[in-house]
Amino acid sequence: MEKIEQLFTFIDSTAGSVQEAKNVSYLEGVLAALNGWLDGENVPEGEWERNDIRKGIQLSLLKGMRESAQVNHQMTPDSLGLLVGYLVEQFFEEQLTKKEIITMLDPAVGTGNLLLTVMNLIGDQVTGAGIELDDLLIQLAAASADLQQQPVALYHQNALMPLLIDPVDAVVCDVPVGYYPDEEYANANYTIHAEEGMTYAHHLFIEKSINQLRDGGYAFFLVPSMIFESEQARQLFTYIKTNTWIQAVIQLPSTLFKKEQMAKSIFVVQKKSATEKPVKDVLLAKVPSLSNPQALEQFFARVRQWKKDEEK
């Protein structure tokens, strides 16, 4: 932790100086600090591991996001990223054991924290891609990925528009919640669209993500826990049932969220494939308090047992 704090102090000091000298936001100061590091102009002393770099950058980004009023300037917490990463490891265990390379996409990459958390956990057997519309966030993601020496291709565009990206093995996504304002485009290009008015953007992100998977690929979504209780839930569920096999619905601890209505779950689906088959039983589980190691180990053991039972 001391090294991470040391790195945060380095980035924070540089970002603060840039913020004051150039009259820009703190996050723009962070970007300048990261780019200065990449260019060799201002480099922190010592040797740095990937995850220490990610965590040091994360602390500075969290500080900047607390000062930012923009809703899209939010970050997926480490604890959730590590849980998603654990599930990715479980579902891709065979490929990882065979030393195969996994291709992974985050269509709402933001600053890259979720994608890079999962990639760092897996190691060198993954190549990443991320999509982000926000100018500043995608530059922060690019600098962070470069400093961590992770192979990530980033695309600066609206993820719900046509993509020039090959189908991937896995999608990880903390799905942006809200309404998509372009009713005409959603109605013309998506199966999941509201019969009247605006469609939920999070529903469209799920459809887009599934479309970007290769047959048999997996998507790991962080979604609102009440996602199947909205007035547009029927269209979403019909699409998911038609195109995927649901693998797991994992409820996250309520203590991670400020309000009950903000609670999220991890939703795992597999795109249907002629060479695969659906699971016998969907994994329905609740993650215990993250401060209870014994209960957490029981949760992980249950996931492993479910996987073993499905392989019989």
119: number of Cβ within 10 Å: 28
Give me the phi and psi of 300, to 5 degrees please: -60, -40
Domain edge (last residue) among 42, 67, 92: 67
How many domains does the chain divide into?
2
Q: Residue 249 maps to which CATH number?
A: 3.40.50.150
- 72 is a domain residue: no
The two structure tokens encoding residue 35? 């780019």
Residues 182 and 260 in one domain: yes
* DSSP output for 145-158: HHHTT--EEEEES-
Q: Is 4 helix (H, G, I), strand (E, B) or coil?
A: helix
pLDDT at 262: 81
pLDDT at 74: 67
pLDDT above 90 for 46: no
pLDDT at 264: 93
Identify the CA nearest to 91 among candidates 216, 274, 213. Answer: 216
What digits encode the pLDDT tens for the residues 233-282? 999 999 999 999 999 999 999 888 877 778 899 999 999 999 999 999 99
Higher pLDDT, 303 or 312: 303
Whole domain around residue 37: which residue ranges? 2-67
- pTM for this prediction: 0.94
What is the separation of C-alpha 142 from the centre of its chain, rounded to a whole number of angstroms? Answer: 15
pLDDT at 72: 55
Q: Please name the amino acid found at residue 177.
A: V
Residues 251 and 279 in one domain: yes
Residues 151 and 273 in one domain: yes
Identify the CA nearest to 137 among candidates 28, 39, 215, 230. Answer: 28
Residues 301 and 178 in one domain: yes
- 73 is a domain residue: no
Residues 14 and 90 in one domain: no
pLDDT at 69: 56
Confidence band for 70, pLDDT divided at 50, 70 and 90: low
- 121 is a domain residue: yes
Domain edge (last residue) among 38, 67, 96: 67
pLDDT at 31: 97
Q: Kindly state the percentage of the chain with pLDDT values over 70.
A: 97
Residues 105 and 246 in one domain: yes
Residues 123 and 38 in one domain: no
